[in-house]
Structures are given as structure tokens and as C-alpha cells.
Structure 1
Amino acid sequence: MNVSGEKQQHKESIRLADEAVAAAAKIVAQDDYRLQYHVMPEAGWMNDPNGLIYFKGEYHLFYQHHPYSDKWGPMHWGHVTSKDLLHWKHLPIALAPTEPYELGQSGGYGCWSGSAIEQDGVLTLIYTGHVDGRQPMEVQCAATSVDGITFDKHPANPLIAVSPDEGNTGFRDPKVWRHGELWYMVIGSGREGKGQALLYRSADLEEWAYMGVAAESDGTHGDMWECPDLFPLGDKHVLVLSPMNMEGAKNLYMVGEMDYESGKFTPEQEAMLDHGPDFYAAQTLLDNQGRRIMIAWMDHWGAEMAREDRGWYGAMTVPRELVLMLDGKLASRPVPELELLREEGIMVSGVTLAAGESAVWSLKNGQGCEWIVEFDLEGIQAKLLELSLLVSEDGQERTVIRYLPSERKLLLDCCTSGAGDTSISAVTLPETSSTLKLQVFVDRSSIEVFVNDGQYALTSRVYPTALRGGLTMKAEGGSVSLQSLHMWNLKSIGS
């Protein structure tokens, strides 16, 4: 098929996919568990964020998308844009699988994850073409656009037609950035049970030279690294990745030094980006304010409610700014633009709860809300502080945040959240912490908890049968003094 015919085929595939989404969207919009202020598909399946970029005055977020059902299937690239990181506009699907390197016979094919860059006013998507059973199974491809809406696949695709090592496990999810006069690309892979980030270099975004393994697992960080993202932050570089088959972790970051001549990244310390069960495939962008913004996929791994045929699946986290702290670790903080969603609220301070005593604060509409609560850790005499939200009338269903002062441990307990799973997530505050500050975002079927200005984060999907607002605070085994509490309803922005 000639280039003109390929373009027409791609346009027709996108038209059919967009029509399928539009046909289901009105019914899907009635689902009670649709989120109010998070990015989610109008209909169909959503997973990894792709191509995050600030381009011509707008934030662009692409995502892995199956438009024909709410199940994982042949991957397309969905597309939304925003001027303020709050209000997102759905655009036509950007990429559909139409070429031999991305089109197969089963569901295991498509335009898989990747990234976006701008050069001379042209927006270029770099992505993985994947076909189960094909040799090679995964190749790296490009598509370009001048208007940021309609994309043409590069006539020289695939630009990287083969993995540098036939023994590698996986060869996907390219993330591209510019350093000096050259472009660099990390690709997720693995070898002999160790996850890897492979590094390439190019002068023109077309001819790519392999530089070697930029970073590799020490044997404890999973056997394949998905969605690697390597970028400068402060005076360091950060590698964000999603390790497969790593004990106790679905996400990871490493802070260290990058040597562009040798192509080696040397990590100095590491930690999880998010300690909750439903945070994966994080990707970042550098915006026009110089901020490093991160968005990740809020999956709901194995939950019963998520398996139901709801016509849609998947959502993105709230946008978070990554900040390098004085101790060399990362903080992830909700972008301040989210404050513009706040409506009428509650403000209290100076409340002390005796042992066994409870206090309840309620919002008019708790389906979408934010609250910030602060405690002086030195003033906590209780053996247990418990904060309950999304509580059913009979009290059997609830999502609970617990703090155990003797262990300095914070728990997010979703065992009775209505989700059908049994997830309990935990973080341990350092001995130097004198304050416990919690910033919590609730949005119908999601909860995102930020501890001490983003020092830790915990993200989970929840499916409460009763969408009730309110917060119940209880002290056990001693007293607790509340420094301050702020609660707000949040506007529904649609998505």
C-alpha cells in the first residue's frame, strides 16, 4: 500500500473507533462510579498515560485505549488536552493499529505506550508497535502532527526495527527527551531476570544509535522495567519505572547521576513513588512553568467491582508535581491548580479527642471532596488514631486511615471499602517527623492520600455502595489533639 493509502486507512480506523466511543458514551456517563475531576475514557478501556507534553499552550495527555469495549484489547492512543490541568477536552483518537508492525490476529497487538516531543512546531509521538507472535514482536515507531490532533505515521517506520539483544524480555515504552543538541531515548526491557532501561541517542529523531544499558536491576527490582522515564530534576537525574514481578512494589524511582557520554545512570537512592495498590505506569512532562508534572494510571488490580461490565475502565491520578527534597528523595504534591475546584467547606481547629471519643464532620456532597488535617505528633497520647470515610449507614462499609504512634506507621485500609479486594497499604514516618499532615482526595471511586506535603502518597480505587460525604475521627488508648482540619466539596469538571 502506498503512503496515501496508509494515511487513508489510518483515518478510517480512527473514525470507526471514535464512533464506537461516541455510541457508548451516553450510557456510560450514567454510571454511579464515574469520577468527577479525574481523566477517564468517555467509554472503553484506559491504561498507561502516554505522550505527556505541554504543546502550543496546552497540556496533552494521550493514553492506552481500547475503544470497542471496557476490556483490554488492541491498543489505540486516546487523547485529551487541557489548559489548566483541571478541565480536559476529549479529542479524536490519535493512533490506531493499521500497519504490519502493530496489527495482528488476536488482542495482543496495537500501538503500545510511548512519549511525545516537540521540534520546530511539530509534535512527534514515539511509541512501540507490538504484535504477539511476530518476530520481532516489539519495534519503535513515530507519528507526527502539526496541529497536535491529526497524526501521520512516519514512512520509515519502524525506526528501531529490532531489539539490541535477542535474549531481552520486552522492548517497549520509549521515553524521549533532549539534552544539549541530541535526543535521547530510554526503552523498558529485561534480561536474565533483571529489569533494564536501554539507552539510544539521535541527532534527528529518525536514526537512533544504541548506547547500551543505562540502568539495571540488582536482582531485587523486577525482571522487566515498563514505562521508564529518565529526566533531570534539580542537580540530579531521576529514573521513574514500573517494575514487573517486584516483591511488594508496582512503581519505583531512583535518584542519581547521569553521564551522557558513557550513557550510564548511577542511582544513589530509591523509593516508591506511591505506596497504594492502584498506581502504575507513571509518566512526566516539563511544563511552561518549569515544573515536572507526573500523572499515572489508577488501575484496580483484581477488584470484583472493576470486573463488572460498566462500559468503561481505568482513570488517571490527579496531576502531581515532583520536587527533589533536601534529603535527596522525591516528594509528589497535587498541583495547586486543584485548589480552584474547592467549593463550600469546613474549617475547625483546637479539637481534642479523649480515649474512645469520636468526632464527625460532614460535607453536603462527599462524592468529590478534599480534606487536609494536621496533628502534632508530640501531642498524640493515643495508641491508635483512626479516620474513617465513605462509611455506609450500617457502618459495615468504610475506607479507613489509621495511624499507630508507637510504630510511626500510617495505614490505608480498603478491606471494607466495597471494592471486593483486601488491600492494606502502609508507610512509616521517619523519626524526624514532628507533624502528621494528611491531604486526601476522594472522587466517587478513588482515594489519593498525600502524607506530609507529598513525602509519601497512597492511591487506591474504591467502590463504596453508599456515596456519602463525611469524616469520622476516633482516638483509642489515649487522647489526640487536632491542630486543624479543612474540608471542601470539589466541583465536577466532567471528562
Structure 2
Amino acid sequence: MSHQGDKERNKVHEEQVVLANTALEQDSAATAVAEDNFRLYYHLMPPAGWMNDPNGLIYFNDEYHMFYQHYPYEPKWGPMHWGHAKSKDLVNWEHLPVALAPSENYDMGETGGYGCWSGSAVDDNGVLTLIYTGHVDGRTPTEVQCIATSTDGVTFNKAANNPVIACAPEEGGFGFRDPKVWQHAGVWYMVIGYGKDGLGKALLYKSSDLRDWSYIGVAAESDGTMGDMWECPDLFPLGNGNDHVLVISPMNMGTTKTMYLIGKLSYESGVFDYRYAERLDYGFDFYAPQTFVDGQGRRILIGWMNIWGAQMPEQEHGWMGAFTLPRELTLSEDGTLRIEPVEELKAMRGTHHRVSNLSISADTEVPLPEIHGDALELIAVFYTNQSAGDAEFGLLLRCSEDGSEYTELSYSAADCKLKVDRSHSGAGEAGVSEVQLTPLEDGRIKLQIFIDRSSVEIFANNGLKTVTNRIYPKPDSLGIKLFARNGEVSLESLDAWKLITEG
């Protein structure tokens, strides 16, 4: 393509970006004026419009960049753009102009089923490079892989030779999207989500220059129980050994929406031989997570804190969608994944209150009037070795004064189950999330809880299990209570902080 052709093509993209940003500014102003009890204090959300999958998470030029699937015109899914925000501390975020907008025949169609779908970002010798799926319903092929580059980290130009991967390796597949790219030994690798014959798969490619890609093969696939298409695959090394982790969002797998697999990746054969598989998060509202490595060498994960098909009360206020807190990934002593909130979140801690050595009688609730709010961090440590065999205990979060509204976080000593019950949480979806949780070696259960207006994130036993849910209580449902049922329980400690940010 000629240089003049490049200029004309990128002018079309620039015009689409300007239109999107103009609409976003207008919608953001309307959203700011509207009374909205669901907007989060310390999680990343769109200023207005729709948000889903995190894209292109990267630490670039000493700043954290988050891109995301975005429709700036309405608070519902539409032709996908890439929203963009950056941060210096993973807590306070600055919204930047829309990075990508549909503009070419490979990412723009005549109906609503098109756009710049999910992907990733890399630093190519100082050039911030986005790799994404161009999707157009009715076109053959429907999905192709494309790149766009930026020298200033804000304005992006689509490559003249797009698509860089023009089709799936074979016909008859289910999906061909969400490229995640990384570099190993000077070579670029890409894993792409795919499905065929009822089996989710992760396809592996390699390149020397991000433009010319060669297909290696199927890195990993379902054993028949893990969905029929693997969205948003992310394959990366973790720990000091040779272990790799594959994170996937399997389609059509019931209540399991995300998984991680641990094993060995052979770059020679292109095969990821996994030995362990488990659900990644046990809440309802967690999907399409992506990881990146920051300047400290930490592997950080962020997910979409919503789920397809759920009620989304925030749409009434002109926006939809949020991201989880940033979470650091490490391998635990038994070789499974440990997921903990990043250290930077402690900077939000404000007023502190502590309760120690409290005995909670069977079938009682203990109000904690000193602890209340809609932006809190709680760390509760319970003893289990003194509990009666049938004891169930925990906390009631975001309680109304009349007791009609609350979110119940409970642990059952009899069957070692941690549960989050949203039956009385307010608007939005109900339902009970649950996960098996073995007490720590000393018999304790440790629950770290982040509450933020319309979300609850739980990190249990130092991140061995996580549960992420959206809740939509009334603004004056601010109370916190302890409770026990069917037996007495001992609370070793409860630390609570009100959380504050610069915003």
C-alpha cells in the first residue's frame, strides 16, 4: 500500500475515534449529573457507555495502561472500540481518548456485529503495539488478527498489512479470537482462542516481527469437560521453575466461566502439557481476565467484573461494566495458584478499627456500629477448631438498618464451604456462590474483603480462593455484622479500614 494510502486509511480511523470521543464526552457529562449509587470509588469503570473485556494490559514507559472493550455511544454492547486508561499506582486512573475504533473492512460492517474485538499489547522496542481481533458478522472469515501501533501511547495507527493473520488454520471452527502475545528468547508468540468438534482449544503462533506469523499448532485443548470454545486465552510462565499457566474463559461450561491450567510449555513442540486445572474465581461476576508483567516483575491479573446475560442495574445510569482489583499471581506451596490483591491497594486505607478475641454465641448476630460504609477493606480471622461440628459463621455486609438488606458471607465448618449469598443484596441478580475451602494449618479461616458500592471481592486464606460478585444495595445499607449459627465460634480479629482515593 502506498504512503498516501496509509494516510487516507488512518484518516478514516482518526475520524471514527473523534466521533467516539465526542459521544463519550457528552455521555460522561450526563452520567456525572445523574444520581448514581452504583458507581465504584476505586475500581476502573468507563466514564460512560459500555465496558467488557480487559485488553492490552501493559506496563509501558513507567505507567500502567489498561485498554478495554468499549461501546461509547450507549450503556449496552455494540460495535466494539478500545477504551483506554492509565495509572502510575494501579489505584488512581486517568481516562485517555478511545484508542481503536472500527474503520476498515476487517473490523467494520453494515450491521451491529462488528468491531475491534479483544486482544493484547506489547512494547516493540519503544512502540506500543496492540494486537486485536477484527470481527465482522457475515464476512468470510468472520474473525482475523490485526495490529495497531503508537509512538506516543495515545494515538494509534492500524497497520497497512492488516490482517496479519487472515484466517484460522482450518475451516469449521468455533471462534478465532482474542490474541495474547508475548516474547520468549527473542521470538514473539501468540495464543488465540478457538474451538472445534466441541472442544475448546488454544492455538499457538510465532513471529520474528509481529507482522509475519506462522502457525505452530494446538498448544492445549479441552479434555471434553472444559467448554467448546476457549475465549481470552493467556499463557505465561510463573514461579522459579518451568511451570506455565494457561488462563481461559471457556464457553458453554455452566457456572464455570474462567479456569486456569498449570503445566509445562515446550517451545520446541508448541505443546502445553497441563497437569492441573481449576476454576479461577468462584463468584458470579468474573470473566475474560488478562495478565501482564509490571516493572517489579510481578504477574498481575485483572478481570471483567460482570458476566454476560446478567441483570446490569447500572445501565439505567448511562454506563455498564467495571474491572476487578489488580491481583498478583504466585504459585502456592502445593503448586496451585495464589491470587492476592496488589500491595498498592494498602495506600487507600484510611480510618482503622479493630475487634479482637470475640466469642460469637450460637444463633446470634453481633452488630458492629463502629464499622460501616460502602468503601471498606475487612480482614477477618476466625478459629474453626473450637467450633461445633455444624457451626456456620461469617459476616453480613452492606446491611440495612431494618435488617431486610444484606449480603451474607458464611463458612460452614461441617463441609468446609465458603459461600456468598446475594438473596437479600438489593437490585440485580440473586444466587449463592460457593467454594471448598480447607482451614489453614493452624485451624484458622482468613477472609480479606473489599467492598466498593456495587461490588464485593473476597480473598480467602491468603488468596488460595477468590470470590467476586456485583451487588446493588440501597445507598443507606452500610452496616456490618458478625454471626454464628448452629454453634459458637471465636473471632480472633477483625480489622476494618475505610478506603479513600485521590479521585
The reply to whether TM is greater than 0.5 is yes
Matches within 5 A, 1:287-436: 287-306=294-313, 308-362=315-369, 366-381=373-388, 383-430=391-438, 433=441, 434-436=443-445
1:247 aligns with 2:250: no
Partners of 2:458 and 2:467 within 8 A in 1: yes
Q: CA deviation at 1:105?
A: 1.3
Among 11, 24, 29, the residue aligned to 1:26: 29
The equivalent residue for 2:130 is 125
Paired amino acid for 1:182: V
User: Structure 2 vs 1, CA of residues 348 and 388 (structure 1 numbering), >3 Å: closer, same or farther?
Assistant: same
The equivalent residue for 1:41 is 46
SS at match of 1:390: strand
Matches within 5 A, 1:251-266: 251-266=258-273
The equivalent residue for 1:227 is 232
Q: CA deviation at 1:493?
A: 4.2
Structure 1 gap ranges (5+): none
Tell me the distance in 1 between the aligned counterparts of 2:483 and 2:308: 30
Matches within 5 A, 1:164-243: 164-234=169-239, 235=241, 236-243=243-250
Which 4+ runs in 1 deviate beyond 3 A?
300-305, 362-365
The equivalent residue for 1:474 is 483
Q: CA deviation at 1:34?
A: 0.3
Tell me the distance in 2 between the aligned counterparts of 1:431 and 1:15: 54
TM-score w.r.t. structure 1 length? 0.97
Partners of 2:49 and 2:72 within 8 A in 1: yes
Tell me the distance in 2 between the aligned counterparts of 1:378 and 1:254: 33
Paired amino acid for 2:318: G
SS at match of 2:333: coil
Tell me the distance in 2 between the aligned counterparts of 1:273 and 1:254: 9
Tell me the distance in 1 between the aligned counterparts of 2:19 and 2:306: 26
Partners of 2:456 and 2:469 within 8 A in 1: yes
User: Structure 2 vs 1, CA of residues 26 and 467 (structure 1 numbering), >3 Å: closer, same or farther?
Assistant: farther
Tell me the distance in 2 between the aligned counterparts of 1:445 and 1:429: 25
SS at match of 2:163: coil
Paired amino acid for 2:298: R
Q: CA deviation at 1:127?
A: 0.3
More deviation, 295-304/262-271: 295-304
Q: CA deviation at 1:64?
A: 0.2
Q: CA deviation at 1:279?
A: 0.2
Partners of 1:345 and 1:363 within 8 A in 2: no
Paired amino acid for 1:94: A
Q: CA deviation at 1:421?
A: 2.1
Tell me the distance in 1 between the aligned counterparts of 2:109 and 2:399: 47
Q: CA deviation at 1:365?
A: 5.7
Among 283, 287, 304, the residue aligned to 2:290: 283
Deviations 1:274-294 (CA, angstroms, capped at 9, x unpaired): 000000000000001010000
User: Structure 2 vs 1, CA of residues 308 and 57 (structure 1 numbering), >3 Å: closer, same or farther?
Assistant: closer
Tell me the distance in 2 between the aligned counterparts of 1:64 and 1:285: 17
More deviation, 374-383/133-142: 374-383
User: Structure 2 vs 1, CA of residues 493 and 69 (structure 1 numbering), >3 Å: closer, same or farther?
Assistant: farther
Among 8, 12, 22, the residue aligned to 2:11: 8
User: Structure 2 vs 1, CA of residues 308 and 58 (structure 1 numbering), >3 Å: closer, same or farther?
Assistant: closer
Q: CA deviation at 1:363?
A: 5.1
Tell me the distance in 1 between the aligned counterparts of 2:372 and 2:364: 25
Q: CA deviation at 1:397?
A: 1.5
Q: CA deviation at 1:432?
A: 5.9
SS at match of 2:152: coil
1:489 aligns with 2:498: yes
User: Structure 2 vs 1, CA of residues 58 and 397 (structure 1 numbering), >3 Å: closer, same or farther?
Assistant: same
1:440 aligns with 2:446: no
Paired amino acid for 2:282: H
More deviation, 238-247/297-306: 297-306
Tell me the distance in 2 between the aligned counterparts of 1:362 and 1:379: 26
Tell me the distance in 2 between the aligned counterparts of 1:80 and 1:245: 31
Tell me the distance in 1 between the aligned counterparts of 2:161 and 2:41: 42
Partners of 1:363 and 1:470 within 8 A in 2: no
Tell me the distance in 2 between the aligned counterparts of 1:164 and 1:493: 48
The equivalent residue for 1:156 is 161
User: Structure 2 vs 1, CA of residues 316 and 130 (structure 1 numbering), >3 Å: closer, same or farther?
Assistant: same
Q: CA deviation at 1:26?
A: 2.3
Q: CA deviation at 1:492?
A: 4.0
Tell me the distance in 2 between the aligned counterparts of 1:100 and 1:398: 50
Q: CA deviation at 1:20?
A: 0.6
Tell me the distance in 2 between the aligned counterparts of 1:105 and 1:363: 57
Partners of 1:277 and 1:301 within 8 A in 2: no
Tell me the distance in 2 between the aligned counterparts of 1:493 and 1:78: 22
User: Structure 2 vs 1, CA of residues 395 and 466 (structure 1 numbering), >3 Å: closer, same or farther?
Assistant: farther
1:108 aligns with 2:116: no
Partners of 1:371 and 1:487 within 8 A in 2: yes
CA RMSD, 1 decimal: 1.4
User: Structure 2 vs 1, CA of residues 305 and 181 (structure 1 numbering), >3 Å: closer, same or farther?
Assistant: closer
Partners of 1:186 and 1:198 within 8 A in 2: yes
Tell me the distance in 1 between the aligned counterparts of 2:404 and 2:315: 22
Q: CA deviation at 1:109?
A: 0.3
TM-score w.r.t. structure 2 length? 0.96
Tell me the distance in 2 between the aligned counterparts of 1:431 and 1:472: 22
Q: CA deviation at 1:303?
A: 4.1
Deviations 1:267-316 (CA, angstroms, capped at 9, x unpaired): 11111110000000000000010100000001154444537522100000
The equivalent residue for 1:460 is 469
Paired amino acid for 1:349: S
Tell me the distance in 1 between the aligned counterparts of 2:446 and 2:297: 26
SS at match of 2:98: coil
Partners of 1:384 and 1:475 within 8 A in 2: yes
Paired amino acid for 1:219: G
